Amino acid sequence: MNNDIRLYESFLSEEECKYFIDFALNSNNWSSGGKDWEDRILFFEHLDPDSPVREKAMVIASKIKDKIINDFNIRDIWPDTIHVVRWPEGSVQEPHADSVWQDGTPNISSWRSFGSIIYLNDDFDGGKTYYTNYEYEVEPKIGSLLIHSANLKSTHGVTQVGGGTRYTIASFWTTDVSRSVNG
């Protein structure tokens, strides 16, 4: 592995993953994150602050934060969003970085320092996360956490989901506290 990407297997238990998938399957709160994301995102920060699901998501966010602080040697970091993403059959994501365009200019989320993905299931075909600069590909495994820097070095994409639906918890991380979900 390299300094920009970390993979942690068994970060969540299968029971925890099932809890979030069950929540997603029974939710009517799917939002749009823009083009190609219609009805595919469940933002935890949009739920009632006392919601048990939101509380569990914030506990997970705290554990991800600890991983980033300890393993990437970052002092202060906060989530700017944490959400479930539904990837139906045929979904694909072209290579991109989370804070800059491919020409290196800041994108609409230029404050981001890291992105993370938790695989909630692995009973689908395809849907691998790949990193173009490292010739590195991650096979989704239930409960695994993947963290990467938001810069061009960690340009990444998702291969087409062939059969089934891929569910993940995605979160993005910033050193700018004013951009945090709690800021």
DSSP state of 161: B
Q: Specify the pLDDT at position 116.
A: 98
Q: Specify the pLDDT at position 47.
A: 87
The stretches in the chain having pLDDT less than 50 are 1
Q: Specify the pLDDT at position 76.
A: 92
Q: What is the DSSP string of 89-136?
A: TT--EEEE-SSB-TTS-B-TTTTEEEEEEEE----SSB--EEETTTTE
Q: Specify the pLDDT at position 28.
A: 85
Start-to-end CA distance of the chain, whole Å, equals 33
Q: Specify the pLDDT at position 31.
A: 81
Domain locations along the chain: 5-177
Give me the CATH code for the 5-177 domain, please: 2.60.120.620
| pLDDT per residue as tens digits for the range 28-75 | 888 866 666 777 888 888 888 899 999 999 999 999 999 999 999 998
Q: Specify the pLDDT at position 32.
A: 64
Question: Considering the entire predicted model, what is its pTM?
Answer: 0.94
Cα–Cα distance for residue pair 145/11, rounded to 1 Å = 6
Structure tokens at 127: 């849907």
Q: What is the DSSP string of the chain?
A: --TTEEEETTSS-HHHHHHHHHHHHT-S--B--STT-TT-EEEGGGS-TT-HHHHHHHHHHHHHHHHHHHHTT-S--EEEEEEEEEE-TT--EEEE-SSB-TTS-B-TTTTEEEEEEEE----SSB--EEETTTTEEE---TT-EEEEESSGGG-EEEPPB-SS-EEEEEEEEES-GGGSTT-
Q: Specify the pLDDT at position 94.
A: 95
